[in-house]
Structure 1
Amino acid sequence: MTTRFKFILSILTIFFFTNSFHAVASQPENNSDPEKDKVLLYVLKNILTRGHFVEKDLNDDFSEIVYNSFIEGLDPSKRYFTQEDLKEFSQYKYEIDNQLLENDVTFYNLVYGRFLEKIKNAKSYYGELLKAPFQYDKEETVDMDFEKVPFAKNNNELIDYWRKQLKLNVLSRIQEQESLQKEKLKKDPKFVVKKFATIEKEAREEVLKNMDDLYLRIEELEHEDWFSTFLNSVVGAFDPHTSYMAPRMKERFDQDMSGKLEGIGARLLKKGIYTEVLELVSGGPAWKQGELEAGDIILEVAQGNEEALDIVGMRLDDAIKFIKGKKGTEVRLTVKKKIDASTKIISIIRDVVELEETFVKSTIVEKNGKKYGLIDLPRFYISFDDKNYRDSAKDMEQEIERLKDEGVDGLLIDLRNNGGGSLKTAIEISGLFIDQGPVVQVKYRGEKPMIKNDTDPKTQWEGAVVVLVNELSASASEIFAAAMQDYKRAVIVGGNQTYGKGTVQSVLPINNFFPNYKSDLGAIKMTIQKFYRINGGSTQIEGVYPDIAMPSRYSYMKFGERDMTGALAWDKVAQANYTKSDSYTNFSDVVYNSKERILKNERFQLIQEYAKWLKENQENSSYSLNYHHFVKDSEIKEKEGERFKSIFKFDSQLSFTSPKHELPLLEKDSTLTEKRTIWHKNLSKDLYVAEALNVLSELKLKSKNELVKH
């Protein structure tokens, strides 16, 4: 399957499923509860206006945000509403705030009522359009950038939108099948190639079946699923991390994922109508397989060689049932990749998943005759229910002590893809590398920032430290990296900047505010605080800029907090009173040397070009609907991608080994041995780890006398 085809098909899949999800309202009279809807509006607006970090008035500006968000939420691909509909809706564009104050859902009822009418017409549209072949020699294009595409002027133009989308979907499937046939013919000269007419008919039938299956499935969804769309348009107007969770969503949020599971080893969440990979369990089947990544969206699930099942629009609990399974069985996931929006089929053999592998782990590597320790910290974990249970700070302290016993000369702390976690452990881990003092500042709305200190005078590690981050290092990871940078205790190495999430959310059960209500009202996840570095700057939007930036495939992508609509702004507070440890005699020289190596490294140069190429593909939203031009464009794109295949075929020739304390465990546990073998192999092929170790090996510590004088 070509890159071009994967990219197009993923867009088409999103188009159809996104626009059809909210047809769940086709039977609102059976399960709707107008009283509950109004109670939710009343409670949510009061919680938000009083407790959210940002004090926001319910005014005309707020009304406009909710208006646009709700319409986009129902019809993001502009395939249902027309400009005539919008003209009618616009009478409420600046009235929603007033309606909310009165717990009035008139705007909601009008828009959704119209949406239901449009949904009823959809089946006749696609059914009629897919009856006969399209004109594949016609010179026409379709633009998939729905932010630029205007709403259709009228119903005739709307149907033409559908025609172009369906034609592109069919065209993409034809191209895929012809490519597969060419590959089979190369392997088997006797392979019988199907005629174009046969492939074309099968492609239309496949698209029709997928559409019919979708419209059958959406009938299973309930009132709370689509009313949540409106509620999230309201609460999301405060900031992108504030959201309403219906009762079933809250249950999934609260699920305890500890213990042993049989499955693929991925934590999933529902994002709109999609099942998204939140994170991979380190050492799990998906992690070992290596193709599935955080942020990927799972579109279809197939059991072994059985037919794939579309799961877009499906409840998360139901989707998980299909993805999970017995050890040794195969599941094939069709996913939309976060990095380039391509679609890819990933085969994973299910296994027992031990969440122990999400904890801190370390390895030892020799370089230039010296030993260095690499500590992987996947997240800042803690148990709030059991204070005696292990947490990331306790584990990190223990791991450092073990590495000290091994005689390592420096530590590389890997925080890549660490999305954060406990503030408490982030502060305590920072304290392992500094004397007592401030680590981070936390601020509530309208209050002065509170300085959070490391109060333990003990310094667990006084040696050289390098912290490795990337664009997915967020929240608590940014607190730790920022503290190490502000104290000049470590060299921060990574991408252009970290994620930039400098806000704190709290999950509040709504029944706590309305305790006598007859049913579960769900919960609100609300932004209540902001983080600030000890130098006064917020980590919001800006994140942490590494001392040494390395090109990555994310370099030019829309990525992180800065690219989220409605994200809170960067600001600053007064600097805390702290003294830099300034541990190194050659900090500037080491940074300069690394930057020079990166600049001259051909592989890093190629990664830079690859990142630009990915960005160009992301922005190229126009596709030819002429078959010959379509095929030619796909072939060109595939050829362009060939030059980047060698980027990550790197071998540092470094050998990573488990620390001594782990050797008895490895003798008893073949699974753990396999996990460590795979991890060590990946590290030896990791270009970013190799350069971080170059930096670590060059750092020279100041003597104790020099530190005292400083």
Structure 2
Amino acid sequence: MLSKVIPLGLPRALILTFLSIFSVYSFAENAAVGQLSASQEQRQAAKDVVERLGYGHYREIKLDDALSAQILDHYLKLLDGSKAYFTQAEIDNYEQYRNQLDDDLQKGDLQAAFEIYNTYQKKLVKRIEQQLVDLESFPDDFVFDGKETLLLDRTDSPWAATEAELNELWKKRLTNSLLSLKLSGKTVAEARKTLTRRLQSQLTRVQQTRDEDVFQVFMNAYTQLYDPHTQYLSPRSSETFNIRMKLSLDGIGALLQSEDEFTKVVSLVPGGPADLAGELKPADRIIGVGQENGEIVDVIGWRLDEVVDLIRDPRASTVRLQVIPANAADNSQSKEIAIVRNTVKLEDQAAKKSIVTLDQNGQNRRIGVIDIPAFYVDFEAWRQGAENYRSTTRDVARLITELEAEGIDGLIIDLRNNGGGALQEANSLVGLFIDRGPTVQVRSAEGRIDILGDSDNSIVYNGPLAVLVNRLSASASEIFAGAIQDYQRGVVIGGQTFGKGTVQSVTPLDHGQLKLTRAKFYRISGESTQHKGVVPDIMFPNLFDHKEVGESALEFALPWDQVKQVPHKFYVQLPTWLPALRENHQKRSLQDPDLIFLAEQTKLIEQTRSIKSISLNEQTRQAETKRIEAQQLALENQRRKAKGLELIKELNEHEDKKDDPNQDAELVESGRIILDMIKLNQTAVTAQQ
């Protein structure tokens, strides 16, 4: 068998920290604010990183004046992405470094980087201190009745011309923070106390910044230009990273990152506590953490490692998260989620079977479903040569046999939210559905292409097949779905996948370590899975924001490209059938209550995402919130009325039956598409006779 064990995707059950200016531990003996400087070890590490990137990264980029300009821009963006601290005059002053940083890095000269950061830190401290003073000007009976609005995303805004312009921005920000807390149920006095604690906590953390923090930010302003998965980890971050790798089985199973003053959920570990609880979603922002029945601690502005420490605790205990949902119109729309911490068990990640029952012309048809949360394998047992080691492929083969014994008409492989796993399993799983052939191509940084494939002639299942994916289907999931699509072995249905088609390795340095991209995956068609992912044959409405979730949402992501196609066979007449399959699906989309609801829900979410600014008027904000809630309620009742269900008065009265595949609109429609395939195939066979 042509296969290798290459872990793909996100490490299972691991709480990783994407690096940010507040993402490493701080200790006593910090330098005075605005007086940080580089150490000799950091200057040497800078030269080491330049050398490793020069010969080790998949992408060849010359460190020259052009890249120097990008480093400066990215560094300023990492420090002040919302353009709330620096003025245009200060930015103009830094133009002297635009063509200098490349030379500085090669010499290990970090003076310019620290100068910029020291100025930023002074301005940050000054802003926090001024906010604390300005809070006192809001009386307990303050009325939010103004006509001002606050722009939510200032990424494309120009730098402020004057400090007075920044003062106006910060006044609006403070007003919005108070209003958001008031709308969440606090009085103005309570909101003022909460904000005071939050700002004092943030001020303490900023004052604890160390030279290592600065060095890490600046080095990642450089490394991330190669691709977003290439990162420098300081010695302390490296130690934390390694500890979490070893202790990765405990926690809630969520990948987190810092974004401005918030802790953002990047993805959930399949089978982990957060995933099983079903309430926490990618792109949600965590603003508070509480233990069991204790008080919720406000964590806005906290360092990422400190938030993670609050969330992690002994297994079987409960953590309560205050969360702003990804589709919330503003920061006042938060909710509380309780999650029981636990070990991510193999059983929770293991493939599971179910059956969707459909009526076709008065006849019950049974469509088997195999849900694969991750591509797993018991590596230790495999290495020891154990005969019955646990793996995705072995479990799926067993489940297929059981489903066929129960009498199924077709099969759905459900890869929604599957973030990846072992390449070995993606490769061998394809082999269950084809007789033999290539499955994926791996191109190294040196340009060598290895072709992996299935050399076993046996087929476990040769019936009608569909693969269901969504935006969170990544890495190994994309390799499997892409191969099934390329072989025309089955129809791929759902949403465009994540698009992570790269492999990283960690290289130790004398000071810290470097995680860099070393290889890239390509389908047997020659198309990369990077950036674009796998585009389904039949698309479902997308509930995920492509600007927030997916490889294409990451700045400096490696591009999509192609290599030479590998010869392979085709199994069904899928290109011939697709027009009819799409037409039938479209007709049902206009008639089926659940599909109509899915499409309308997507439109409503997109409308909410399109909001660029929010009002600082309390009545206006309340009216907007009520309007959105009324629309959501109307959509749900429209669906319920069409299905003959009892109408509800509030959204929280409605509970989805998460474990019933017959209540899953996407699974049900995928089953109908399989029945359409069966009918088209029968028509084709009859025509040939």
TM range (shorter): 0.7 to 0.9
- Checking the alignment, whether the CA contact within 8 Å between 1:20 and 1:119 is kept in structure 2 is no
Q: Deviations over 1:548-585 (max 9, x none)?
A: 11113237755422232212222212211111122779
Residue 679 to residue 42, structure 1, CA distance change in 2 (3 Å): farther
Q: For the residues of structure 2 that align with 1:267 and 1:429, how far apart are their CA atoms? A: 26
- Checking the alignment, whether the CA contact within 8 Å between 2:503 and 2:517 is kept in structure 1 is yes
Q: Which residue of 2 aligns with 1:453?
A: 453
Is residue 160 from structure 1 mapped to residue 168 from structure 2 by the alignment?
A: yes
Is residue 689 from structure 1 mapped to residue 667 from structure 2 by the alignment?
A: yes
Is residue 126 from structure 1 mapped to residue 117 from structure 2 by the alignment?
A: no
Structure possessing the higher relative contact order (Cα contacts under 8 Å, 6 or more residues apart): 2
Q: Deviations over 1:229-285 (max 9, x none)?
A: 111111001112222233444445443578975x5x323444467544455455655
Residue 257 to residue 600, structure 1, CA distance change in 2 (3 Å): farther
Report which stretch shifted further, 48-57 or 117-126: 117-126
Q: Which residue of 2 aligns with 1:245?
A: 233
Q: Which residue of 1 aligns with 2:438?
A: 438
Q: For the residues of structure 1 that align with 2:483 and 2:426, how far apart are their CA atoms? A: 10
Q: Deviations over 1:4-36 (max 9, x none)?
A: xxxxxxxxxxxxxx9988997993479976122
Query: Match of 2:505, as an amino acid?
Result: S
Structure 2 length-normalised TM: 0.83
Q: Which residue of 2 aligns with 1:380?
A: 375
Q: For the residues of structure 1 that align with 2:657 and 2:59, how far apart are their CA atoms? A: 43
Is residue 491 from structure 1 mapped to residue 469 from structure 2 by the alignment?
A: no
- Checking the alignment, whether the CA contact within 8 Å between 1:586 and 1:699 is kept in structure 2 is no
Q: For the residues of structure 1 that align with 2:357 and 2:172, how far apart are their CA atoms? A: 59
- Checking the alignment, whether the CA contact within 8 Å between 2:291 and 2:320 is kept in structure 1 is yes
Is residue 37 from structure 1 mapped to residue 42 from structure 2 by the alignment?
A: yes
Q: Which residue of 1 aligns with 2:30?
A: 27
- Checking the alignment, whether the CA contact within 8 Å between 1:258 and 1:355 is kept in structure 2 is no
Secondary structure of the 2:102 match is helix
Aligned residues with identical type, % of pairs: 32
**Cα offset for 1:380?**
1.6
Alignment of 1:195-214 (within 5 A): 199-214=187-202
Query: Match of 1:686, as an amino acid?
Result: D
Q: Which residue of 1 aligns with 2:91?
A: 86
**Cα offset for 1:386?**
4.5
Is residue 523 from structure 1 mapped to residue 513 from structure 2 by the alignment?
A: yes
Q: For the residues of structure 1 that align with 2:210 and 2:317, how far apart are their CA atoms? A: 32
Q: Which runs of 5+ in 2 are unaligned?
A: 1-19, 645-655
**Cα offset for 1:636?**
3.5
**Cα offset for 1:482?**
1.0
Q: Deviations over 1:626-646 (max 9, x none)?
A: 444444444444434433445
- Checking the alignment, whether the CA contact within 8 Å between 1:292 and 1:346 is kept in structure 2 is no
Alignment of 1:267-666 (within 5 A): 267-271=254-258, 275-277=263-265, 279-280=267-268, 285-312=273-300, 314=302, 318-325=306-313, 329-340=317-328, 343-348=333-338, 350=340, 352-356=342-346, 357-367=348-358, 368-387=363-382, 388=386, 389-445=389-445, 447-495=447-495, 497-508=496-507, 510-511=508-509, 517=510, 521-554=511-544, 558-582=548-572, 587-588=577-578, 589-646=580-637
- Checking the alignment, whether the CA contact within 8 Å between 2:501 and 2:528 is kept in structure 1 is yes
Report which stretch shifted further, 406-415 or 333-342: 333-342
Of the three residues 67, 70, 95, the one matched with 1:65 is 70
Is residue 171 from structure 1 mapped to residue 179 from structure 2 by the alignment?
A: yes
Q: Which residue of 2 aligns with 1:181?
A: none
Residue 423 to residue 23, structure 1, CA distance change in 2 (3 Å): closer
Q: For the residues of structure 2 that align with 1:613 and 1:491, how far apart are their CA atoms? A: 29
Q: Which residue of 1 aligns with 2:17?
A: none
Query: Match of 1:266, as an amino acid?
Result: G
Q: Identify, as 1 or 2, the structure richer in helix.
A: 1
Q: Which residue of 1 aligns with 2:652?
A: none
Of the three residues 97, 101, 119, the one matched with 1:114 is 119
Residue 83 to residue 23, structure 1, CA distance change in 2 (3 Å): farther
Q: Which runs of 5+ in 1 are unaligned?
A: 1-17, 179-198, 512-516, 654-677
Query: Match of 1:502, as an amino acid?
Result: G
- Checking the alignment, whether the CA contact within 8 Å between 1:24 and 1:219 is kept in structure 2 is no
Q: For the residues of structure 1 that align with 2:71 and 2:344, how far apart are their CA atoms? A: 43
- Checking the alignment, whether the CA contact within 8 Å between 1:380 and 1:392 is kept in structure 2 is yes
Q: For the residues of structure 1 that align with 2:205 and 2:63, how far apart are their CA atoms? A: 37
Residue 486 to residue 363, structure 1, CA distance change in 2 (3 Å): same
- Checking the alignment, whether the CA contact within 8 Å between 1:649 and 1:685 is kept in structure 2 is no
**Cα offset for 1:453?**
1.9
Query: Match of 1:177, as an amino acid?
Result: G
Residue 613 to residue 114, structure 1, CA distance change in 2 (3 Å): same
Q: For the residues of structure 2 that align with 1:135 and 1:481, how far apart are their CA atoms? A: 55
Residue 152 to residue 19, structure 1, CA distance change in 2 (3 Å): farther
- Checking the alignment, whether the CA contact within 8 Å between 1:267 and 1:277 is kept in structure 2 is yes
Residue 275 to residue 102, structure 1, CA distance change in 2 (3 Å): same
- Checking the alignment, whether the CA contact within 8 Å between 2:412 and 2:468 is kept in structure 1 is yes
Residue 166 to residue 629, structure 1, CA distance change in 2 (3 Å): same
**Cα offset for 1:449?**
3.1
**Cα offset for 1:494?**
0.3
Q: For the residues of structure 2 that align with 1:259 and 1:24, how far apart are their CA atoms? A: 23
Residue 538 to residue 607, structure 1, CA distance change in 2 (3 Å): same
Q: Which residue of 1 aligns with 2:677?
A: 699
Q: For the residues of structure 1 that align with 2:639 and 2:556, how far apart are their CA atoms? A: 35
Q: Deviations over 1:342-372 (max 9, x none)?
A: 6533332526445120122222344443443
**Cα offset for 1:691?**
0.6
Q: Deviations over 1:90-118 (max 9, x none)?
A: 11012211211211112201101211221
Residue 565 to residue 316, structure 1, CA distance change in 2 (3 Å): closer
Of the three residues 106, 109, 115, the one matched with 1:104 is 109
Q: For the residues of structure 1 that align with 2:418 and 2:137, how far apart are their CA atoms? A: 51
Q: For the residues of structure 1 that align with 2:417 and 2:41, how far apart are their CA atoms? A: 39
**Cα offset for 1:317?**
5.4
Residue 455 to residue 522, structure 1, CA distance change in 2 (3 Å): farther
Structure 1 length-normalised TM: 0.80
- Checking the alignment, whether the CA contact within 8 Å between 2:36 and 2:118 is kept in structure 1 is no
Query: Match of 2:95, as an amino acid?
Result: S
Of the three residues 213, 221, 224, the one matched with 1:225 is 213
Query: Match of 2:561, as an amino acid?
Result: D
Q: Give the length in aligned residue pairs.
A: 634
Query: Match of 2:524, as an amino acid?
Result: I
**Cα offset for 1:525?**
2.1
Residue 41 to residue 639, structure 1, CA distance change in 2 (3 Å): same
